[in-house]
Amino acid sequence: HGCTIEDGALIGMGAIVLNGAVVGAGSLVAAGALIPQGVVVPPRSLIAGVPGRVRRELSAAELAANRGNAAVYEQLMDLHRETTA
What pLDDT, in 10s, does the model give residues 36-65? 999 999 999 999 999 999 999 999 999 999
Task: Supply the pLDDT for residue 85.
Answer: 79
Task: Supply the pLDDT for residue 1.
Answer: 79
Q: Please check whether residue 23 is in contact with residue 3, taking contact to mean a CB–CB distance below 8 angstroms.
A: yes
Residue 54 to residues 17, 30, 63, 79, Cα–Cα distance (Å): 14, 10, 16, 36
Distance from C-alpha of 33 to C-alpha of 51, rounded to nearest angstrom: 7
Comparison of pLDDT for 73 and 23, the residue scoring more: 23
Domains with residue ranges and CATH for the chain = 4-84 (2.160.10.10)
Distance from C-alpha of 76 to C-alpha of 72, rounded to nearest angstrom: 6
Which pTM was predicted? 0.87
Task: Supply the pLDDT for residue 74.
Answer: 92
State the average pLDDT over residues 10-24. 97
pLDDT over threshold 90, residue 12: yes
Distance from C-alpha of 5 to C-alpha of 25, rounded to nearest angstrom: 7
